[in-house]
């Protein structure tokens, strides 16, 4: 029992310490984001790496998720002759929930791991210490551009995933289930309201902050050489994914079940 309590206490202290470190990095990042000099070239490079380079995997993920939603819902809808509601189900589920969270998880796995590995390699080779020696704030030089790029590109990727998922549902509904083009368009956009779209976009902003801050924090506190870099990369992806799912659940409760 004593060992169990001690283990629980160590875990609790470690969690609080981790939350404190991440929070400090977040507020320091907000400070340096607003401070000149601004480096648009660095931000643009990160936007290309985070957004443009993620388009292929985001396209495949969103398209086939839209196809799967349409197929799975059709299995039940056909039984009650309600195929016309499949476009509404696809569009609402994609914009509210599936596109934001799946896009964030894909970006966390691809971009978050890359950020943690890159900053971790810089840490173990003492490049971050060299920046401090040259009076260059590492957070300003390394974290702020990635923060701005993720904060900009993840919502855009989410909107793109919304559209691609709807196209996936269109492919099944029109060419497999026999709905007309005009019927699919009408039943896709008629039930949508701005709240559905903005809920997904707001979630994507939160997810962008989580991915950037957690990945940068893990990368900048690496110890132990190559093995430490590998551990930091794994932790960045796992913790980011857990926080994304948790925050998604909280946002859903707040937006749709409170008030």
pLDDT tens digit sequence for 239-259? 999 999 999 999 999 888 875
Say whether 218 sits in a helix, a strand or coil.
helix
pLDDT in tens, 163-174: 999 999 999 999
| Conformation bin of residue 33: beta by default, left when phi > 0, alpha when psi is -120 to 50 | alpha
Tokens of 249: 């659940």
Q: By percentage, how much of the chain surpasses pLDDT 70?
A: 100
pLDDT in tens, 127-144: 988 888 888 889 999 999
pLDDT, residue 71, reads 92
Q: Say how far residue 86 (Cα) sits from the centre of its chain.
A: 26
Mean pLDDT of 146-158: 96
pLDDT in tens, 86-109: 999 999 999 999 999 999 999 999
CA dist., res. 115 & res. 207, Å (int) = 15
CA dist., res. 152 & res. 240, Å (int) = 18
Helices (H), the chain: 2-33, 40-50, 55-77, 86-93, 99-107, 113-124, 127-133, 138, 144-175, 181-189, 194-220, 225-257
* Distances 139 to 14, 63, 129, 143, 144 between C-alpha atoms, Å: 23, 37, 12, 5, 6
The better pLDDT of the pair 58, 11 is held by 58
- Locate the domains of the chain by residue range: 2-252
Mean pLDDT of 106-115: 94
């Amino acid at each position: 029992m004593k060992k169990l309590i001690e283990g629980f206490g160590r875990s609790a202290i470690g969690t609080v310490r981790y939350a404190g470190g991440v929070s400090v990095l977040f507020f320091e990042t907000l400070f340096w984001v607003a401070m000149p000099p601004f480096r648009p070239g660095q931000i643009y490079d990160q936007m290309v790496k985070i957004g443009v380079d993620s388009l292929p995997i985001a396209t495949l993920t969103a398209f086939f998720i839209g196809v799967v939603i349409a197929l799975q819902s059709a299995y039940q809808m056909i039984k009650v002759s309600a195929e016309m509601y499949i476009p509404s189900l696809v569009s609402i589920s994609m914009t509210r929930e599936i596109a934001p969270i799946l896009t964030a998880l894909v970006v966390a796995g691809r971009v978050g791991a890359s950020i943690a590995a890159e900053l971790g390699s810089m840490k173990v080779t003492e490049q971050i210490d060299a920046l401090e020696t040259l009076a260059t704030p590492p957070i300003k030089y390394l974290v702020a551009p990635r923060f701005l790029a993720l904060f900009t590109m993840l919502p855009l990727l989410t909107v793109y995933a919304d559209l691609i998922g709807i196209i996936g549902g269109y492919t099944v509904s029109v060419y497999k289930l026999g709905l007309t083009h005009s019927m699919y368009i009408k039943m896709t956009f008629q039930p949508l309201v701005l709240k559905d779209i903005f809920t997904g976009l707001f979630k994507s902003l939160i997810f962008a902050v989580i991915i950037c801050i957690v990945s940068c924090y893990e990368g900048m506190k690496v110890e132990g050489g190559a093995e430490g870099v590998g551990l930091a990369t794994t932790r960045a992806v796992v913790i980011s994914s857990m926080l994304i799912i948790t925050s998604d659940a909280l946002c859903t409760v707040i937006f749709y079940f409170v008030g």
